[in-house]
Amino acid sequence: MRLIRAIGAPVLLSLALVGCGGGEGVNVNPTSSTANEVGTSPTATITGNPMTGVTVGTQYSFTPTASDSDGGKMTFSIQNAPAWASFNTSTGQLSGSPKSTDVGTTSNIVISVADGTATASMSAFSISVTSTAGTTTPSPGTATLSWVAPTQNSNGTALSNLAGFKVYYGTNSASLNQVVAVDNAQATSYQVTGLTTGTWYFAVTSVTTTGTESAPSTIASKTI
């Protein structure tokens, strides 16, 4: 699908929406006003496949794989870490053993790495703590959105002042009255949680460092 006309040049955005019981991905094409400048600057990468579930009293451990192009010292950071886990800023290891009071799901966990000149972030993930093996705690629906940032302005010049994104959603496609600011220019995904039963609609915009916001992406929907 083509994007709605916006401040910036169109880019490809894909929203993989997952509700209770799973679901199919939905592809949309958004627009944006800014993006990272493409060049030969130092780069960093971080990858991994973290476990998304752990049983009470069981040890959880995940360490991502990271590298950088110029061999600088790498420092790790985390957003939305589980309260029951500890995080090592030198190795990126997330570990801990949840208690019975920790039963539930921690969402939108993002691990990043930086070496002073380049940064990179993993896609957001969740960790669910269950009371016994094979038993999950009922939780509201979720929707995971993934996107690729644009690289040019509408006039073809390179974009270099991307500040982040905004995720809009709601139960009425004509009124997406809930919004979440993703203040990370390198973010490529976000998980919306706490969705009740029904059909939800989603759109994403990008925001510059001066506060300029692009037009929204094509609206996608998911029935929970």
CATH number, position 182: 2.60.40.10
Domain-ending residue, one of 90, 108, 130: 130
> Taking the CB of residue 92, how many other CB atoms lie within 10 A of it?
23
If you average pLDDT over residues 199-221, what whole number do you get?
A: 87
- Residue 32's pLDDT is 38
Q: Provide the pairing of β-strand 65-68 with 75-79.
A: unpaired
Domain that holds residue 161: 13-38+141-223
In whole angstroms, how large is the CA radius of gyration of the chain? 18
Indicate whether 150 and 106 sit together in one domain.
no
pLDDT at 133 over 70: no
Least Cα distance to 53 among 108, 116, 134, 124 occurs for: 134
- Asked if residue 208 is part of any domain, the answer here is yes
Q: Is residue 95 part of a domain?
A: yes
pLDDT band at 147 (very low <50, low <70, confident <90, very high): confident
Name the pTM for this structure: 0.46
